[in-house]
Structure 1
């Protein structure tokens, strides 16, 4: 009983000592399917991410996930940046206005 009380008091004190600007999750959704998944979340600092994946048959005995999504964040310069991407058998392919084109 003393151990439980001590843990509870420590937890409360840690919560009270947490910084006021701590980032919180304000929205979160996810779904796992037999042939893929999807998820999204948004945080109190304006960051967001969403991702979808489906299973693709590459050959008779070879499957791979085909992933697409995007994430948005506020940079140190105060600007909001968004990256969209796909990831598949050709690798990770990000796109964004701030990413140099090769």
Structure 2
């Protein structure tokens, strides 16, 4: 048990040493604009290479992007919109759903081609 504890502590130390300390990051550029009609825009950048920007109309629409480097070194580029259709992100790092199986697509096509008569329940 003692050896297991030592191994666990050693692994934690290695993990913490490999993490980059970004607490000293500073904002290198910043712009923000808010208009009387509710539209706005902003952008910022930091010394640790985080870049973000967004434009929109308060409560109705927003579109923007964020770029940064993930802790594993992978560059992340996320673009998004938010409107009456909800939040819609896009980026190569986001998981994608598996394709819809052919038998499901055929079943949906059949249902669409053969609509079900509406049933009226007795009261």
- Scaled by the length of structure 2, the TM-score of the pair is 0.56
Aligned residues: 76
Structure number with bigger Rg: 2
Q: Pick closer, same or farther for the CA change 1:20–1:42 going to 2, 3 Å.
A: closer
Correspondence for 2:57 among 54, 73, 95 = 54
Question: If each structure's strand is expressed as a fraction of its own residues, which one has the higher value?
Answer: 1
**Match in the other structure for 1:34:** 36
Higher relative contact order (CA 8 A, sep 6+): 1
Q: CA-atom RMSD, angstroms? A: 1.9
CA distance in 2, matches of 1:86, 1:20: 28
Correspondence for 1:96 among 71, 81, 91 = 91
Stretches of 4+ moved more than 2 A in 1? none
CA distance in 1, matches of 2:24, 2:36: 36
CA distance in 2, matches of 1:20, 1:71: 17
For structure 1, the 5+ residue unaligned runs are 1-18, 56-63
Correspondence for 1:65 among 60, 64, 78 = 60
For structure 2, the 5+ residue unaligned runs are 1-20, 98-123
- Scaled by the length of structure 1, the TM-score of the pair is 0.67
Q: Pick closer, same or farther for the CA change 1:40–1:88 going to 2, 3 Å.
A: same
Correspondence for 2:78 among 72, 78, 83 = 83
Question: If each structure's helix is expressed as a fraction of its own residues, which one has the higher value?
Answer: 2
